[in-house]
Structure 1
Amino acid sequence: MLPDIKGMCPFVEDSFSRFPSQSNIYGLCRAGEQELLAATLKGKVVCFRYQDLQRKIRPVAREIQFTYIPVDAEIVSIDAFNKSAPKRGLVVGITFIKDSGDKATPFLNIYCDYEPGSEFNLESIARCIVEMDPVRLCFSSVGMISAYIFTKSVLWLNVLSIDQNRRLTTFGCQNGSVGLSLVNQKGPEILQNWRVQHDSPISTVLLFPSKQQHQSNDTNSSQMETFNLLVTSAIEMAVVYRDVEQYGLSKQLCLAESDQCDAVLCALVVDLDFDGQHELLLGTYGQDLLCYKFHQPMGAFEDKLQLLWKRSFKSPLLSLIYLDLDGDGLRELAVLTLKGLHVLQHSLRTTADLVLHRLSTLASRLPTSSKDQPIKNQDSEESISISNEQRTSTT
């Protein structure tokens, strides 16, 4: 049996990098496979990665000098994505505001290096500006197309392809409005639209799939994939709209206690305990990281969201990213706070116990003949080796 870790955070802090000035909820992005870019309000961009230094893997945070960003500029957001195949290279977008005296002017800089061998080199990319425009940036990858969405009232946008021809698009606005659309990508054509009004600014909207047990007429149960929408806001409890493809924004499930830690500023939906089911992470201005998971109480027809654990930090949480930074095959949780970047790693003891438990479970399910087969093969190989040695000796 695995140890009961309910109420305990399965992460341990590996490193903390303090920044020269504070960031914001749009200030962290993934850059390639094992790097992060964090932007601060005072015009600085920091690259975080793990490097092999003196035969040890150590975290390294260094400043990247992006060209054409004035010293007195205030960075609003940063994002990055890889070019669609067959092209290669990393594209970085930075939005900033420059005070021109009478009024502040917004700018967008896009960086990309076309020189062979430098397409993923951040130092080289930072010197190659592609375009400048006075707009605000939000990147979203939609299949093979990278689209830029520019607007003043939308605070967050998320897109999820549900099959080859259709996608779900959702957005959350400063006035509390949440929109959801089902789109035929071949048209393009909007098949359905849903709208709902919340009472405070929307901080995050995230679409994610989940597996649900479906009971058929012949009493045989099967798993059916549905698509859900997580919505967090500044004042209200975070909510999940269930099976939005069928019910739109009418079937709501609240995340209890999510309004007890001040405003929710960021969210993430990932499988943290490796059981194939998603956990919901909420980062709050109240300096707490909350983790929720779906569970179905005894005798209940529908599952609910239960608060699994809570972890406190020393400053408000702004952004969350889950990726493998050190290349060991196990992903880390990067937490951007008002003071800097925390990197949390899975507890190796808990992870090792989980691996051993699953290996023993798989081994117990193997038939007896399958278990003995490797031994028989080994015995036959040894007998062949002995016969060859005897034959050589005789010769």
Structure 2
Amino acid sequence: MAHLSLTPKVSSSSTSSNNQSCMDFCHAHFFSVPTQGSIYTLAQLVDSAGRTKILFATLQRKVYCMQYWNGRPCIKEVPFTYIPGGAEIISIDAYIRDTDKEDFVIGITIIKKDETNNGSTSQYLNMYSSVDRTSEGNGLQVASQNCLHLQLSYVPYQVKHVLLPQDGGVAVVWLVCGSDSQVHVYHGDDEGHNYQETNLNATFPELCDIKGITLCVEVLYTSDNRVRYTATSGEDGCVTLSKVVLENTVPRIAAKQTMNWDYPVGWVRLLRLQSFNPPTPGLSEVNVIDDYKHNPVIDDELPYLVVGSSVESCTVFRDLAPGKGCYLKDSEAYDVVTCCIVCDLDMDGTNEIVIGTYGQVVLMYKYETNGCWRLVASLNVPDPILSLSYCDIMVEGSNQLIIMTVKGVHVYQCNPWKTKKLCMEKLKALVELRNT
């Protein structure tokens, strides 16, 4: 296993060296693909046993599933139905609906060129899930064969499942950004396999007055589900940040900020400084919300917003207003920034900002007490980067950095010796705390 260390970008000090020591990765595996995907074609699933699966799709209608068995990678193509020959996959997202069974729900948007009609195109949203939720034979293979084929009147961009608090629980709806300058919401019937477009004003009123094409939507709830923050970025350079108060699950826009860039803004990310990891592996996101209520996280303040322009430096805002953002150093130096994730990369309890670039470099930023974000490390990869993820695909108790490039998917494992040292330090601190 080749060792590849992150390049430190900070001066030597006691605090900095501790941060660097945790940002140390080994290149564990690479899986090549015949054709590239897009910035929207990487998704992750956690099954009922706590194993993480990575789904990644290529533009030429192929979908692959990667997971580890007994420490070895297992990669296979998943034969999703209703993806015709010549179709291109635009985006994919997925979640587990029932943690007691392999009951997955996968959304895939596709576009197909009609060769017999002057080159016009047809667009579809394919929703895959298990029809019989009482069956013991549920799983990814079963779900891939059960498709609801919805024709769209617009070209789709990002597809994203989002939690929606309701009376007596939490539902999952699907948001699809379209070329018609609208964001569409689709609600499913858990008793069967039926998805319909629903009234956006009744569920996400903050998305109703969008003027241009939306490229990315981000949603973040407070732990009590009473407040929702929604951020959007658009092809016209418009970025919005909305605060929505849920009064008896009825949404009301409490505040909304808008800022315009001169160039398209490909993505936005909402983040809080304190990281949160589910206490039990294998929980679906619906159940994670319930556990999150009992996690002592102070989250009633405005979250941070990371904005990724196609030309300028990435910027972090607390208040979306000109002159109030913090530029991420060197984020414009490696071609276009294509993706961003928020995760606790050094396992110190606070989140870092990790961005991927088309210039084949991953950049990692850490928050400082003066309100700025400091570039602490970088990682070079062989090919342009399209998407990132951070999860425990190797089932070893710590997360791995997943990097999807135009040539395939890389898995970077945190240096096990550094992870062992950090775990021992935390266990020692817990024992000392218990004995006091």
When normalised by structure 1's length, the TM-score is: 0.81
Q: Does 1:232 align with 2:308?
A: yes
Which residue matches 2:252? 189
Structure 1 position 86, deviation (Å): 10
One-letter code aligned to 1:154: T
Structure 1 position 119, deviation (Å): 7.1
Which residue matches 2:4? none
Map of 1:236-315 to 2, 5 A cutoff? 236-242=312-318, 247-249=319-321, 251-296=324-369, 302-315=370-383
One-letter code aligned to 1:349: W
Q: Distance in 1 between matches of 2:60 and 2:343?
A: 32
Which residue matches 2:173? 147
Residue of structure 1 aligned with 2:261, choices 185, 198, 203: 198
Measured against aligned partners, the alpha-carbon deviations of 1:276-314 in whole angstroms (never above 9, x if no partner) come to 111110000000000000123xxxxx2321111111111
SS in 2 for 1:93: strand
Structure 1 position 106, deviation (Å): 1.4
One-letter code aligned to 2:17: D
Q: Does 1:338 align with 2:406?
A: yes
Residue of structure 2 aligned with 1:353, choices 414, 421, 424: 421
SS in 2 for 1:356: helix
**Does the CA contact (< 8 Å) of 1:94 and 1:109 recur in 2?**
yes
One-letter code aligned to 2:144: A
After superposition, the CA RMSD in angstroms is 2.4
Which residue matches 1:64? 78
Which residue matches 1:169? 230
Q: 1:91 to 1:365 in 2, by over 3 A?
A: closer
Q: Distance in 1 between matches of 2:25 and 2:348?
A: 16
Q: Distance in 1 between matches of 2:225 and 2:16?
A: 42
One-letter code aligned to 2:215: L
**Does the CA contact (< 8 Å) of 2:94 and 2:161 recur in 1?**
no
Structure 1 position 166, deviation (Å): 1.1
Which residue matches 1:31? 45
Structure 1 position 130, deviation (Å): 2.2
SS in 2 for 1:329: coil
SS in 2 for 1:127: coil
Structure 1 position 319, deviation (Å): 0.7
Whose radius of gyration is greater, 1 or 2?
Answer: 1
Structure 1 position 363, deviation (Å): 5.0
Structure 1 position 120, deviation (Å): 4.9
**Does the CA contact (< 8 Å) of 1:139 and 1:146 recur in 2?**
no
Q: Distance in 1 between matches of 2:138 and 2:256?
A: 39
Q: Distance in 2 between matches of 1:168 and 1:238?
A: 20
Q: Distance in 1 between matches of 2:388 and 2:122?
A: 29
Measured against aligned partners, the alpha-carbon deviations of 1:311-331 in whole angstroms (never above 9, x if no partner) come to 111111111111111222111
Q: Distance in 2 between matches of 1:338 and 1:118?
A: 37
Q: 1:327 to 1:120 in 2, by over 3 A?
A: farther
Structure 1 position 158, deviation (Å): 0.5
Q: Distance in 2 between matches of 1:80 and 1:295?
A: 34
**Does the CA contact (< 8 Å) of 2:122 and 2:151 recur in 1?**
no
Residue of structure 2 aligned with 1:160, choices 211, 216, 220: 220
Q: 1:31 to 1:357 in 2, by over 3 A?
A: closer
Q: Distance in 1 between matches of 2:94 and 2:321?
A: 30
Q: 1:174 to 1:350 in 2, by over 3 A?
A: same
Identify the structure with bigger relative contact order (alpha carbons < 8 Å, sequence gap 6+): 2
Q: Distance in 1 between matches of 2:67 and 2:410?
A: 12
Q: Distance in 1 between matches of 2:25 and 2:94?
A: 27
Which residue matches 2:17? 4
**Does the CA contact (< 8 Å) of 2:65 and 2:76 recur in 1?**
yes
SS in 2 for 1:42: coil
Q: 1:233 to 1:51 in 2, by over 3 A?
A: same
Which residue matches 1:389? none
Q: 1:49 to 1:120 in 2, by over 3 A?
A: farther
Structure 1 position 121, deviation (Å): 0.9
Structure 1 position 344, deviation (Å): 1.0
Which residue matches 2:61? 43
| Structure 1 stretch displaced more, 129-138 or 342-351 | 129-138
SS in 1 for 2:396: coil
Q: Distance in 1 between matches of 2:175 and 2:228?
A: 16
Q: Distance in 1 between matches of 2:15 and 2:139?
A: 43
| Structure 1 stretch displaced more, 139-148 or 230-239 | 139-148
Q: 1:288 to 1:109 in 2, by over 3 A?
A: same
| Structure 1 stretch displaced more, 280-289 or 8-17 | 8-17
Q: How many matched pairs?
A: 344
Residue segments in structure 1 that go unaligned for 5+ positions in a row: 212-222, 297-301, 371-395
Q: Distance in 1 between matches of 2:142 and 2:419?
A: 38
Q: 1:290 to 1:125 in 2, by over 3 A?
A: same
Structure 1 position 42, deviation (Å): 0.8
Q: Distance in 1 between matches of 2:60 and 2:255?
A: 42
Structure 1 position 156, deviation (Å): 0.6
SS in 2 for 1:293: strand
Q: Distance in 2 between matches of 1:87 and 1:36?
A: 18
Percent identity of equivalent pairs: 30
Structure 1 position 188, deviation (Å): 1.7
